[in-house]
């Protein structure tokens, strides 16, 4: 049978990142490749306790179909947390989603027609690029520096593409670079969205995982005109396997999101929603997040020390104040895949930069994750990586 796929399906049969992550799952390999939280901090007992209570108190409701908007209990949890990001919204502006990944997909479904222009950061989260490509978007990337997307470059992109419909940004501890958009740029972006009349999808999965520096308000907090849609998730502050996130948007849009969600999955898992709401009732989430940030800071510091110790002096690296990733650029490396293949053979893994770019690729770039490996693994793995870089640089 020759299957006739829709145009949404990628033409290529290869999945280099998937292959890499499968190879890196080998326990002999020290993997800085994935984007996994530290599982030793999952509050397994507390979640189990919450689950037991949910089954006792409302087992039948928890196993029944639910509303596409989400359970009122979990929506209330989200509404209470929005103040942390300076967002003023009430429950009618919130919908619970199946992770923030679903919000990216539903946003594509809601706004994008074939050929619509979407502006993204250069580089950006590869699974968001996959979503926008699947809806036939014309992707335009805007360069970043340590303060996030460059606003002069964005204005140029908007002048070149006044038809821009959507801009996707991860303003805090970005995936893959770990960089954070400055306060001034957040304000400017909200103004530009109103001026040029495009939607901003503000994806903030990592914002709560800040271990240094001063917390910054969300871009959404500067939105006076309904141009900014905000999404976040329980994946990094609690557990990604629960698959729960949320979207904050004007009421009219939340109603549209609910229609799109109905055709995607009817609603997010009701049982998980009750369990998470119960977890929040029973526990102090801030002290749990403090444990996560303390561990990630320790691991980030170790990784930065190891870069200084084991990598050539020409290497540049980002300085994340939170989140899970450091972005590396090695001048002189033209084929990052070759470095990656060599590293896998030598039992260490990272994700090469290529898939994070939608157009021109910056060679010699790659992403390192520090949240998921122990201090010993970080030291040994970074030493191996440093030796591999020296070898590829020498051999060319
Ligand atoms: N956005 C970004 C930037 C991510 O890195 C991820 C996953 N790591 C997601 C969205 C999706 O996360 P989830 O669906 O688990 O909320």
Q: What is the pLDDT of residues 310-367, one digit of tens each?
A: 999 999 999 999 999 999 999 999 999 999 999 999 999 999 999 999 999 999 999 9
Ligand 1 atom having least distance to the Cα of 245:
16
pLDDT at 152: 98
125 C-beta neighbours (distance < 10 Å), count:
22
Q: How far apart are the CA of 267 and the centre of ligand 1, in A?
A: 19
pLDDT at 14: 79
Q: Is 174 in the pocket of ligand 1 (CB under 6 A)?
A: no
Name the pTM for this structure.
0.97
Q: Is 273 in the pocket of ligand 1 (CB under 6 A)?
A: no
Q: How far apart are the CA of 232 and the centre of ligand 1, in A?
A: 8
Q: Is 35 in the pocket of ligand 1 (CB under 6 A)?
A: yes
**Of 365, 292, 349, 276, nearest in space to 96 by CA:** 276
28-43 mean pLDDT: 95
Helix (H, G, I), strand (E, B) or coil at 312: coil
The predicted-structure confidence for 36-66, as pLDDT tens digits, reads as follows: 999 999 999 999 999 999 999 999 999 999 9
Ligand 1 atom having least distance to the Cα of 124:
3
Supply angle C-alpha 207, 307, 129, rounded to 5: 45
96-109 mean pLDDT: 98
Q: How far apart are the CA of 245 and the centre of ligand 1, in A?
A: 9
Q: How far apart are the CA of 234 and the centre of ligand 1, in A?
A: 10
Q: How far apart are the CA of 60 and the centre of ligand 1, in A?
A: 31
Q: Is 171 in the pocket of ligand 1 (CB under 6 A)?
A: no
Q: Ligand 1 pocket test: which of 106, 148, 175 has the largest number of ligand atoms within 8 Å of its C-beta?
A: 175
Q: How far apart are the CA of 230 and the centre of ligand 1, in A?
A: 13
Structural fold of domain 44-282? 3.40.640
Q: Is 178 in the pocket of ligand 1 (CB under 6 A)?
A: no
The predicted-structure confidence for 197-251, as pLDDT tens digits, reads as follows: 999 999 999 999 999 999 999 999 999 999 999 999 999 999 999 999 999 999 9
DSSP secondary structure string for all residues of 184-232 = HHHHHHHHHHHHHT-EEEEE-SSTT-B-SS-----GGGG-SSS-EEEEE
Residue 277 · residue 74 · CB < 8 Å: yes
pLDDT at 222: 98
Q: How far apart are the CA of 21 and the centre of ligand 1, in A?
A: 16
Ligand 1 atom having least distance to the Cα of 101:
14
Q: How far apart are the CA of 235 and the centre of ligand 1, in A?
A: 8
Residue 396 pLDDT more than 90? no
Q: Is 322 in the pocket of ligand 1 (CB under 6 A)?
A: no
The radius of gyration of the chain from alpha carbons, rounded to an integer in Å, stands at 21
pLDDT at 258: 98
Question: Average pLDDT over the chain, rounded to whole?
Answer: 96
pLDDT at 18: 86
Q: Is 175 in the pocket of ligand 1 (CB under 6 A)?
A: yes
Fold agreement between 16-43+287-395 and 44-282: no
What does the alpha-carbon distance between residue 215 and residue 207 come to, in Å, rounded to a whole number?
A: 8
What does the alpha-carbon distance between residue 247 and residue 50 come to, in Å, rounded to a whole number?
A: 24
pLDDT at 155: 98
Q: Is 323 in the pocket of ligand 1 (CB under 6 A)?
A: no
pLDDT at 24: 81
The predicted-structure confidence for 111-130, as pLDDT tens digits, reads as follows: 999 999 999 999 999 999 99
Residue 180 · residue 173 · CB < 8 Å: yes
The predicted-structure confidence for 158-210, as pLDDT tens digits, reads as follows: 999 999 999 999 999 999 999 999 999 999 999 999 999 999 999 999 999 99
Task: Report, at the CATH architecture level, how domain 16-43+287-395 is classified.
Answer: Alpha-Beta Complex (3.90)
Report which of residues 135 and 20 the model is more confident about: 135
Give the C-alpha distances (Å, rounded to integers) separating 104 from 128, 214, 273, 297.
7, 27, 20, 28
Ligand 1 atom having least distance to the Cα of 100:
16
266-279 mean pLDDT: 98
Residue 20 pLDDT more than 90? no
Show me where the domains of the chain are located.
16-43+287-395, 44-282
**Of 130, 111, 166, nearest in space to 9 by CA:** 130
Q: Is 204 in the pocket of ligand 1 (CB under 6 A)?
A: no
What does the alpha-carbon distance between residue 11 and residue 337 come to, in Å, rounded to a whole number?
A: 21
pLDDT at 23: 82
What does the alpha-carbon distance between residue 368 and residue 358 come to, in Å, rounded to a whole number?
A: 20
């Amino acid at each position: 049978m020759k299957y006739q796929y829709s145009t949404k399906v990628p033409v290529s049969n290869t999945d280099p990142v998937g292959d890499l992550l499968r190879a890196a799952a080998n326990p002999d390999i020290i993997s800085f490749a994935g984007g996994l939280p530290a599982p030793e901090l999952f509050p397994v007992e507390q979640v189990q306790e919450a689950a037991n209570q949910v089954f006792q108190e409302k087992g039948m409701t928890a196993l029944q179909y639910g509303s596409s908007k989400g359970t009122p209990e979990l929506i209330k949890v989200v509404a209470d947390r929005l103040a942390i990001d300076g967002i003023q919204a009430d429950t009618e502006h919130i919908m619970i989603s199946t992770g923030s990944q679903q919000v990216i997909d539903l946003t594509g479904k809601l706004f994008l027609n074939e050929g619509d222009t979407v502006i993204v950061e250069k580089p950006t989260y590869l699974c968001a690029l996959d979503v926008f490509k699947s809806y036939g978007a014309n992707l335009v990337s805007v360069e970043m520096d340590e303060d996030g997307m460059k606003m002069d470059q964005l204005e140029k992109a908007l002048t070149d593409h006044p038809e821009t419909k959507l801009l996707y940004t991860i303003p805090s501890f970005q995936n893959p670079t770990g960089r954070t958009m400055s306060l001034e740029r957040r304000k400017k972006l909200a103004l530009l969205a109103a001026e040029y009349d495009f939607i901003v999808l503000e994806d903030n999965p990592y914002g709560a995982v800040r271990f240094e520096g001063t917390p910054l308000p969300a871009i959404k907090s500067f939105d006076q005109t309904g141009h900014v849609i905000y999404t976040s998730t329980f994946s990094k502050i609690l557990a990604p396997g629960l698959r729960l996130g949320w979207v904050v948007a004007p009421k009219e849009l939340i109603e549209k999101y609910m229609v799109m969600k109905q055709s995607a999955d009817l609603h997010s898992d009701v049982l998980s929603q009750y369990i998470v709401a119960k977890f929040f009732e029973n526990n102090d989430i801030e002290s749990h997040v403090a444990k996560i940030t303390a561990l990630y800071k320790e691991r980030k510091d170790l990784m930065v020390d190891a870069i200084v110790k084991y990598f050539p002096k020409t290497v540049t690296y980002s300085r994340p104040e939170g989140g899970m990733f450091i972005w590396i650029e090695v001048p002189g490396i033209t084929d990052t895949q070759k470095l990656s293949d060599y590293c896998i053979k030598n039992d260490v893994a990272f994700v090469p930069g290529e898939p994070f770019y939608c157009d021109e690729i910056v060679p010699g770039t790659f992403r390192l994750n520090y949240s998921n490996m122990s201090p010993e693994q970080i030291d040994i793995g970074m030493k191996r990586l440093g030796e591999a870089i020296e070898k590829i640089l020498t051999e060319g």
